A and B are shown apart, each in its own frame.
Chain A
Amino acid sequence: MKELWQLFIIFCRIGGFTFGGGYAMLPMIQKEIVEKRNWATDEEILDYYAIGQSTPGIIAVNTATFIGYKRKGIIGAIVATAGMVFPSLVIITLIAAFFRNFQDYAIVKHAFSGIRVAVAVLILNAIIKMWKNSVKDWKGITVFCVAFAVTAFTNISPVIVIVASAAFGIIINIKRIEAK
């Protein structure tokens, strides 16, 4: 029971401070789940993202569900997801009920422009850490560069990048797989 409550609170915190979608959540996940609690490794988080990106649904929710399930089974999955969406429910309901043109308030615009700079730094730090843990050889560097370039400069869907890189991983290890 205590751990379920903890799951809820932690994902509330992550949901309440994620600005700008699933990938912006990564620094929070790293801090709360990997560093503070050792509930998953950096590599596992990358795996969850890969799965979350290529399955239906919102990446942030898929990642919360995955971690919740790993800790406490199906109940854990539901509780973690509930925590993740709870701040949105409260904040958006309040805004929708009481504010008109919330996004046009000068203070909101200034705060958000500032926050975006912090998010840029935090994502950069997160990527450097992830890079050290998961890009280990020239094959990894190649996959990273291709995935980055394709996503940043073309309209090709990230799902295709995910499927292609999984296939690449299998093909280059095919001898090892067959040997077993």
Chain B
Amino acid sequence: MIYILLFFEFFKIGLFAVGGGLATIPFLQDLSDKTDWFTSQELVDMIAVSESTPGPIGINMATYVGFKTAGIPGGAIAVAGIVAPSIIVIVLIAHYYMKFSEKPLVKSAFYGLRPAVVGLIGAAGFEVVKISLFNINKFFETKAVTDLINIKSLTLFAVILYFSNKYKKHPIVYIAFAAIAGILFKF
């Protein structure tokens, strides 16, 4: 019974959370109020873990909540629930996209969309740069310019920027390198 409920609740979240993993948080908040599956304090921990582990945040959250609620099968069922609407909706859209992608109307829409998506990704990248290279909060506390920029991060940024453009290795190589550098130099 709990499995059916879990599937159903996460199906709903998958269906209504438009725009990615963080959009699932209000729904999970609601779920913690409504059920005794997990508390809102546990939810805060789950968000922190989901953001500091690999994988899409929404999927990590679903796995965590499902596992806490009903063990290993619970995790798998919650994930199945959250991805089911995506599979249905995207398969339908993909079908029509392939059929109509050469039509002038669709082509024109994507002509406007592509630069906009680059802008959206740019904004996401800007956010990561802001968080990882600058200590904005510390700067406002001390007003010292030397506190604004995180020198260690900036150095690593420059090193990876140089090597990734020179050697074009797999992104995994640079991620592993940065993780090791982060541990060794206590970022």
Chain A interface (Cβ within 8 Å of chain B)? 13, 15-28, 31, 43, 46-47, 49-62, 65-66, 69-70, 74, 77-78, 81, 84-85, 87-89, 91-93, 95-97, 101-103, 106-127, 130-131, 134-135, 139-141, 143-148, 151-152, 157-159, 161-162, 164-170, 172-174, 176-177, 180
Contacts and interface: CB of A to CB of B under 8 A. Distances in A.
B181 A121 contact: no
A31 B187 contact: no
B70 to A, nearest CB: 12
- Which secondary structure dominates chain B's binding surface? helix
20 contacts: A31-B170, A46-B114, A57-B17, A61-B56, A69-B95, A92-B60, A96-B64, A103-B45, A110-B183, A110-B186, A114-B179, A115-B178, A118-B160, A118-B179, A121-B157, A122-B171, A131-B118, A140-B114, A147-B118, A161-B120
A88 B87 contact: no
A144 B119 contact: yes
Contacts, number: 386
A90 B85 CA distance: 22
Contacts of B91: 65, 69, 74, 77
Contacts of B170: 31
A93 B75 contact: yes
Contacts of A158: 19, 120
B55 A169 contact: no
B119 A143 contact: yes
Interface of B: 14-22, 24, 45, 48-60, 63-64, 67-68, 72, 75-76, 79, 82-83, 85-87, 89-91, 93-95, 97-98, 101, 104-105, 107-129, 131-133, 153, 156-157, 160-161, 164-165, 170-172, 174-175, 177-183, 185-187
A118 B178 contact: yes
B104 A173 contact: yes
B119 A148 contact: yes
Contacts of A147: 115-120, 122-123
B50 to A, nearest CB: 7
For B64, B72, B85, B110, the residue with the greatest tally of chain A CB atoms inside 10 Å of its CB is B110
B53 A85 contact: no
Chain A interface, DSSP helix/strand/loop, else mixed: helix
B8 to A, nearest CB: 15
A89 B76 contact: yes
A18 to B, nearest CB: 6
B19 A116 contact: no
Nearest to A36: B170
A28 B171 contact: yes
Contact of A166 (B20, B51, B87, B112): B112
Contacts of A130: 118, 121
B60 A170 contact: no
